[in-house]
Amino acid sequence: MTTRKRERRMSLLLEHLDRHADADLSASAIGDITGLGDGVLPLLADLAREGLVEHSWQDMDGRRRLCYRITQAGREAGRASRS
């Protein structure tokens, strides 16, 4: 994946996570919301390493899932990339 394409996808992720800032979302839900499917996992891992999202294990539908939430730094980075 080219750097430009990766940056656009990360920006898209931050935008959607910002819209759902009040919820912890599983990677599967984020993939569905953004249309990125399973391709969202490495992007979420990168965003977590950069401190733009945080993650925690949650029980959802009787299963433990790693869920993500945007951080304040992620909101600011997302807004900066859109302007």
Phi, psi of 59 (to 5 degrees): -85, 120
Question: In the structure encoding, which two tokens stand for residue 25, read together?
Answer: 């979302």
Alpha helices in the chain (DSSP H): 3-19, 27-34, 40-49, 72-82
The residues spanned by each domain of the chain are: 3-82
The tens digit of pLDDT for each residue in 21-34 reads: 999 999 999 999 99
Distant-in-sequence, close-in-space partners of 33: CB < 8 Å, separation ≥ 6 = 16, 20, 25
Instruction: Specify the fold of 3-82.
Output: Arc Repressor Mutant, subunit A (1.10.10)
In DSSP notation, 13-28 reads HHHHHHHTTTS-EEHH
The tens digit of pLDDT for each residue in 10-21 reads: 999 999 999 999
